[in-house]
Amino acid sequence: MRQYVLSIGTPQAIVGDLKTREAAAHGGFVAVGVGRFADEVGDLVRTEPEPDPAAGRRKCHAGEATRSIDRLCYRGLRQEVLGLARGKGERRAARAGTIQGMLLVPGDPLNPRRVDPHFAAQAAAARESGIAVARIDHDALDRPDEAVAGVPAGDDAVYRGWMMTASEYDGFAKALDARRVTLRTSGDEYRAAHELPGWYEALRPLTPESAWTDGPDLAGLDAVCERLGGGPAVLRDHVKSMKHYWDEAAYIPDVTDRVAVQRVAARFLELRGDAFTGGFVLRRFEEFTGAEARTWWIGGSCALITPHPDTPDELPDGLDLVEVEPLVTDLALPFVTVDLVRRTDGAWRIVELGDGQVSDWPGTRAPADLMAALF
């Protein structure tokens, strides 16, 4: 039997949900992966600890050949392993009638038989590339079984659509699992990417200093202000700012002015309403210059660099990811975006990390590029 041995230098796993708690024993091997993907390659894959975990290097052995690489891309490994599975014969998933690789998009609220117009071009690009496309009912996320009722069984499903709360995504993922659909991004991974407390510590060296509350209690902001000490800051919640209401609901000239802090926070809370998520976040204000770039990371590797959707015709030049890449890779998240901008001193700074499934795509770029990177 041909064996694949994956040696990894971190406790996180490398393929999809590659966490050791997801591993399942199969005939003396350990399958790393999610759901049925683990089952179908279980007799081909096992994991071993890296002899020197501090080295952080991964080795992939296939028969006599050995490759040593710094970062093993989820997509490439998955295709390689599934290729071996195809060589062994019909996969269990194929026998069960599941689809390998599927794009999930919201249906049009006015015509549920069509894709939401905002995502229609991405759905068309997927179909043209041979990728299956299924619609979900985003308005029915409070009834997740109903929201995914039209989705066929399939492995490695990726959602591209409107934002969900972490709890909505968790219910969405569980409803899909009940229909034998495996999402590439788990509920825990979505929350880690979607909410600032999930990624801030990992990216702290390259993003503005931040402190936050848990919950919407305005009184808790005093302790957050104390942690920042003084100076200007930008207010947001765990997911989103109100930057289009800059003076009234985002920018605070000095956090020692508690009256101003409370006024801005109260207005922010009013504007966000039921969409308020997690708690208040204060991020130390830094002077930026030029447009933002949006970088797209799949399996810990940067697959695409595009303009930010707010400035679709402006892509900054000279983007440097040397310091960014190891930090994002170590987060071990399957699909995220990282927005970067140049500070006035020339340093590249991370403005935001978000789950790639709910990150908008710039209208000036071809959706086929994203589909090719994802699948």
Whether 264 contacts 249, CB under 8 Å: yes
Q: Would you state the structure tokens that stand for residue 196, as one six-digit string? A: 């600032």
Burial of 95 (0-12, 13-18, 19+ CB in 10 A): exposed
Please report the pLDDT score of residue 97 as a whole number.
57
Residue 248 confidence (pLDDT): 97
Quick: pLDDT tens for 135-150: 999 999 999 999 999 9
Q: What is the pLDDT of residues 296-337, one digit of tens each?
A: 999 999 999 999 999 999 999 999 999 999 999 999 999 999
Average pLDDT over residues 152-158: 93
Task: State which H helix or E strand residue 139 sits in.
Answer: none
Contacts by 302-310, CB closer than 8 A, 24 or more apart: 302/328, 303/373, 304/369, 304/370, 304/373, 306/361, 306/362, 306/365, 307/362, 307/364, 307/365, 308/339, 308/362, 309/360, 309/361, 309/362, 309/363
The stretch 264-273 carries a mean pLDDT of: 97
The number of angstroms, rounded, from the C-alpha of 101 to the middle of its chain's C-alpha atoms is 17
How far apart are the C-alpha atoms of 73 and 81, rounded to whole Å?
Answer: 12
Check the CA dihedral 344-362-112-357 and report its sign: negative
CA–CA separation, 341 vs 347, rounded Å?
8
Confidence of residue 155 (pLDDT cuts 50, 70, 90): confident
Topology at the third CATH level for domain 99-184: Rossmann fold (3.40.50)
Q: What is the mean pLDDT of residues 196-223?
A: 96
pLDDT of 98 reads: 65
pLDDT at 84 over 90: no
Report the mean per-residue pLDDT for the chain: 81
With a CB cutoff of 8 Å and minimum separation 6, the contacts of 42 are 24, 26, 27, 29, 31
CATH topology of domain 288-366: D-amino Acid Aminotransferase; Chain A, domain 1 (3.30.470)
Return the domain boundaries, the chain: 4-94, 99-184, 209-284, 288-366
Q: Averaged over 73-85, what is the pLDDT?
A: 40
Q: Is residue 80's pLDDT more than 70?
A: no
17 closest CA partner among 195, 187, 202, 186: 186
Higher local confidence (pLDDT), 36 or 310: 310
- Can you tell me the mean pLDDT for 178-196? 97
Say what the pTM is. Answer: 0.76
Give the rounded percent of residues in the chain with a pLDDT score beyond 90. Answer: 73
